[in-house]
Amino acid sequence: MGSIKHIFNEIHYEMTRKVAEGGMGLVYEAHQLGAGNFKKVVAVKLIREEYSAIEEFQKNFIGEARLVADLIHTNIVQTYHLGQIGGQYFMVMEFVRGVNLEVFIDKHRSLDRKIPIDLAAFIVSRVARGLAYAHQKHDLEGRHLNIVHRDIGPKNVLMAYEGDVKLTDFGIAKALDLMYNEEGKVIAGKDEYLSPEQASYAVTDARADLFPLGIVLTELLLGKNIFRSADRSQSRRNILSLPIPVFSKLREDIDPKLEAIIGKALQRDRDKRYKSANEMLTDLELYLYSDRYGPTNEKLGVYLKELFGVVDPGGTALPQHPTSVSRP
């Protein structure tokens, strides 16, 4: 890390620690430095040098940065800057001091503790809120970008200790004129979090993000992904043909209203699925708030701090979350 620190110090970024590492890149916690002892905590996403030299990967990384630069929403991780130094591309992003959903689920599993149903639905509703914004996004010329995230899963949902829920990693997103895309020839996404369209090499639209969001909701409720198999191809087959269970038989406090939301999100026929993230968001919020005082960011924040024993979020190390550098 020494040479990286030295290089980035020259452009006013002080790298403090590595928080994640993947095959193609790394994510560091860093301080952005400025005049008058200005210091801001940021995340720096760095492509490994060997991948920075590959044109296809360059285009996708640049495309991701250009795409998310204008995705300014409380439920999406903000991107501040794209740069290149020493032959390596890097992205400066909002630093989320908290955990991702994978860590959150694993923590409950280790404690043999169920995630409260209202908090599970609330977390997914916030992701749906971010997706609704992204799916409806237009460029400066007024063209609909037709964004499809294509990588919805627990690793790509971050939760701040204050209770903010944020979607990240648009590295394999599909968007007008911005991202390298060979849809129909390759499968984009993680096998156990695919939509049936992705698993069958079909062309996707925004509804393809709602099936995996349904998977995430069931994983929060059950503590496991029912489609996951040790064999990747079997996971894809499960996405396409595994009988969808009655989830209230797997967790008895899932009520009929929530069962109906899950069932609609997990429709394999996308014409029977939710038509939009906004429609799914509406149903989740009606479920949460129509007849009672429902969860808030603050309630989730209190729960997270208790769960992870956080006393002072400002001085607590961020548990590692996976890199948001995806394959091209």
Q: List, for residues 277-302, the tens digit of each pLDDT value.
A: 999 999 999 999 999 899 999 999 99
Same domain, 64 and 212: no
Is 291 one of the catalytic residues?
A: no
- Residue 190 pLDDT exceeds 50: yes
* Distance, CA of 56 to CA of 32 (rounded, Å): 29
Find how far residue 326's CA is from the centre of its chain. 12
Find how far residue 303's CA is from the centre of its chain. 20
At 1 the pLDDT is 57
What DSSP string runs through 264-310? HHT-SSTTTS-S-HHHHHHHHHHHHHSSS----HHHHHHHHHHHHT-
Domains: count for the chain: 2
Q: List, for residues 299-322, the tens digit of each pLDDT value.
A: 999 999 999 999 764 544 444 444
Number of other CB atoms surrounding residue 49 within 10 Å: 11
Does 291 fall in a domain? yes
Q: Find the mean pLDDT for residues 230-242.
A: 97
pTM: 0.91
Same domain, 56 and 20: yes
Does 37 fall in a domain? yes
Same domain, 83 and 216: no
The domain in which residue 26 lies consists of 2-95
CB-based burial, 195-216: b 16+ in 10 Å, e otherwise:
bbbbbeeeebebbbbbbbbbbb
Question: Per the structure block, which two tokens stand in for 40?
Answer: 């801001």
Q: Apex CA 159: angle with CA 156 and CA 161, to 5°?
A: 155
Same domain, 157 and 182: yes
- Residue 134 pLDDT exceeds 90: yes
Does 271 fall in a domain? yes
Same domain, 289 and 227: yes
Catalytic residue selected from 70, 106, 151, 291: 151
Same domain, 79 and 44: yes
Amino acid in position 286 = L
At 2 the pLDDT is 55
Same domain, 77 and 114: no
Same domain, 289 and 157: yes
Give the DSSP H or E segment for 92. Answer: strand 88-94
* Distance, CA of 214 to CA of 207 (rounded, Å): 11
- Percent share of the chain, pLDDT over 70: 88
Does 69 fall in a domain? yes
* Distance, CA of 142 to CA of 176 (rounded, Å): 12
